[in-house]
Each structure stands twice: as structure tokens, then as C-alpha cells.
Amino acid sequence: MAVTTPLKVWSEVEGRLLRLRLNRPKANLIDAGMIAALDQALVEHVGKAELGAVVLDAEGPHFSFGASVEEHLPGQCAAMLVGLHRLLLRMVELPVPVLVAVRGQCLGGGLELALAGHLIFVAPDANLGQPEMKLGVFAPAASCLLPELVGPQRAFDLLVSGRSITGAQAAAMGIAHEAVADPEHAALAYFEEHLKPKSASSLRYAVKAARLDYVARVKDKIRAVERLYLDELMVTHDAVAGLEAFIAKRSAQWQHR
């Protein structure tokens, strides 16, 4: 059986545009292999002077069902979380705009990946959420990224309830730049109209300037939240029990400790 590469990578418009496509439908899990492939692609291409944007989308009907739950278990979660946060911070700091096109399910680590981009274009009927609390854990990166986009109260609601919202609601809240029937086409159109005509070098300085304080806040907070997750949450009974129950496809029995 052929092994499918987790990520399709190619360039368009004479190197002005980098295309990244999650390529493990239908779930497109953000696991160690996917994280490594995304990180490698960004490292290899971001230094190219002519690059003006990245468009990130996904093969199949869904953007991503989230991170690998198995990799969240003790013994694996530290390496997984460090690798994921390294990738997300690379995206947050990237001086090249990352335009994310989202369809279908965009949950957990998949939504964190989208939030680390610069602009999200989403199908109105897409389903976005951070359901980690339903498993007895929380979403570390989203705890840092969501409040920046929607403010503390709306972020608190989504992070603590674990509920999902539609793409149309995400756009109304400010999570997504635009809700549109064809998000990939919209992202490409944005590049053509607003980014392609610009000097790639000047655009990089504009991106850095626009996000200078944002990047600093996210970097500081994600380190603290990562320690909270690994050193405190993951030594509790319920966090591990919730993950194990999800993998076993049974209801978790909370002991509140």
C-alpha cells in the first residue's frame, strides 16, 4: 500500500505564491508527520526573496479534524506540543502573509493551525471549534490566539465550552476574514489583487510592522500556557482519563481531580 505524503507543496506565479495542502483526507490530522512536513516546507521556501504569500488549504471535504489524540497521551504529549508550538510560532512570526482556506470540519489542532495564519477564508457552512475541553484537556495555542482575534469574553466561551461555530459565525466574530462559498478561490483572488502587485521585500516589512506587538504577546503567552498544560494539567487524573476514554470510544468518568 502506497504511503501518502501528508502535505502537497508546490509553487505558482513564478515563485510568488507557495501552495501548501494538507493531504490526508478525510481527517487531515495534525500529527507529528504533518507538523514536520509543514515546518520543513516553510523553512525551505520562506527565504526566497520573490515569495509574496502562502495559501494553505486541504485535500478532501474537511480542513482538519484536529491533532492526533494518541499523541496527546503522557509520554508523547511533550514532544507533540513542543513541535506543534514551534510550527505555529513560525507561522505567527512569518513575514509572508499566510492565507488559509477552510472547508468542512476545522477542529482542535486544525483550528489552531488556521488561527496561526494571517487571514482565514472560510466556507459559510464550515464547522470550527476547540473541543478539547470535552476530552478533559484544553487548547494551549488557541488560548493564546483566539483572544487576540475575538477578545477575551468570546474566546473564553469557545475555549471553555468546547462548542463549535459555523464559518459564517466565525467571520462575524472576526476569526475569519471572509465567509465565502469557495474559500480557496477567495484566498487566491486576495493574493492576485492585494499581494501579487506589491514588492515582496516591502511587503515583508509591512507584515512585521503590523504584527509586531501581536507576535510578542503570543510568544510570551504560549510558553507559559505550554508549561501549564504539561506540568500541571497532564498530571491530573481527569486529563489522562478523558483522552483514554476518547480513544476507547467510551464516555469519560470524571473524578474532578
Tell me the pLDDT tens digit for each residue of 214-231: 999 999 999 999 999 999
User: Strand, coil or helix: what is 136?
Assistant: coil
**pLDDT tens across 67-111, in order?**
999 998 988 899 999 999 999 999 999 999 999 999 999 999 999
Q: Does 45 reside within a domain? A: yes
Q: Does 191 reside within a domain? A: no
Q: Does 28 reside within a domain? A: yes
Q: What is the pLDDT of residue 75?
A: 87
Q: What is the pLDDT of residue 219?
A: 97
Q: Does 189 reside within a domain? A: no
Any idea what the CATH number is for the domain that residue 128 is in?
A: 3.90.226.10
Q: Are 136 and 254 in contact (CB under 8 A)?
A: yes
Write down the residue that cell numbers 492585494 correspond to.
194
Determine the Cα–Cα distance for residues 38 and 34; give it in Å rounded to an integer: 6
Determine the Cα–Cα distance for residues 163 and 65; give it in Å rounded to an integer: 14
Overall domain count for the chain: 1
In whole numbers, what is the pLDDT of the chain averaged over residues?
Answer: 96
Q: Are 58 and 21 in contact (CB under 8 A)?
A: yes
Q: Does 133 reside within a domain? A: yes
Q: Does 193 reside within a domain? A: no
Across 154-161, average pLDDT = 98
Alpha helices per DSSP H over the chain:
32-45, 77-93, 109-115, 140-150, 152-161, 167-173, 183-190, 200-210, 212-227, 237-247
Q: What is the pLDDT of residue 1?
A: 43
Q: Does 210 reside within a domain? A: yes
Please check the confidence at residue 191 and state whether its pLDDT lies above 70.
Answer: yes
Determine the Cα–Cα distance for residues 206 and 194; give it in Å rounded to an integer: 13
Q: Is there a cis peptide before residue 219, judged by omega within 30 degrees of 0?
A: no
Kindly state the cell numbers that stand for 5. Answer: 505524503
What is the distance between the terminal CA atoms of the chain, rounded to a whole angstrom?
A: 44
Q: Does 188 reside within a domain? A: no
Which H or E run contains 120? Answer: strand 119-122
Please check the confidence at residue 4 and state whether its pLDDT lies above 90.
Answer: no
Please check the confidence at residue 2 and state whether its pLDDT lies above 70.
Answer: no
Residues in the chain: 257
> How far is CA 206 from each of CA 44, 117, 158, 182, 233, rounded to the nearest angstrom?
22, 16, 31, 28, 38
Q: Which long-range contacts (CB under 8 A, 24 or more apart) does 31-36 make?
A: 31/6, 31/67, 31/68, 31/71, 31/80, 32/68, 32/71, 32/79, 32/80, 32/83, 33/6, 34/6, 34/7, 35/80, 35/83, 35/84, 35/87, 36/83
User: 44: domain range?
Assistant: 1-182+200-257
Q: Are 98 and 154 in contact (CB under 8 A)?
A: no
